[in-house]
Amino acid sequence: MTKILTPADQFEVATRDGLWMSAADALRVTGFALKPEGMCRDEICVPMSAGSVKGAEIDVEAFWKKLGGPVIASDAGDVWALGAPADERNAALEGLQAPDFTLPDIDGTPRSLSELRGRKVFVATWASW
């Protein structure tokens, strides 16, 4: 199994020759579904070249790069990180709707920014280092 790290999650997926995987796994990892017109999420479809789809298998590395996102593999090829495309991050921020996030508190309870709608929220980072 291959470990795949996405910006907000991580997955164990059966892959071969890099990041070739089933369409079902590709949907799970990327949120995009394989359709005749390409890889689609909501109204967006990314056309796929003939070389990056074989039957119901997809080269997710090729797809992710076409989307404009970075793809970095570990030396052994057993862990891959798919990063958010710069354009996607910029578009989200320029829309000024605060991107939602879910993070654990000190006791492990998950908390989401969206739970605080209706209040003014001051989000501040810190670190021990």
Partner 1 sequence: MWQSLYAELKDKGFMVVAVAEESRGADHARPWIEQAKSEYWQLIDTEHRLEDLYNLSNVPQAIWIDEQGRIVRPPETAGSTDHFRRMDLKTRTMTPEDQAGRLAARQAYFDAVRDWVNTGKHALPADDARARLPKVTPRIAEARTRFRLGVWLRAHGSTAEGDRQMNEASTLHPESWSMWRQAADLDEVGKASGPDFWKRVQALGERPYYPPPKL
**Residue recorded with tokens 């989307």:** 67
Nearest distance, CB of residue 8 and partner 1, angstroms: 6
Site for partner 1 in 59-118 (CB under 8 A): 68-72, 74-75, 79-86, 89-90, 92-94, 96-99, 101, 103-106, 108, 111, 113-114, 116-118
Identify residue 95 by its one-letter amino acid code. G
CB 15 within 8 A of CB 63: no
The C-alpha angle 33, 35, 40, rounded to 5 degrees, equals 45
For residue 12, give the H/E element and its range: strand 9-13
Query: What whole-number distance in Å separates Cα of residue 47 and Cα of residue 63?
Result: 9
Q: Smaller CB distance to partner 1: residue 35 or 101? A: 101
Is residue 23 a contact point for partner 1 (CB under 8 A)? no
Is residue 16 a contact point for partner 1 (CB under 8 A)? no
Tokens coding 18: 């890099």
Residues that bind partner 1 (CB under 8 A): 3, 5, 7-8, 10, 68-72, 74-75, 79-86, 89-90, 92-94, 96-99, 101, 103-106, 108, 111, 113-114, 116-129
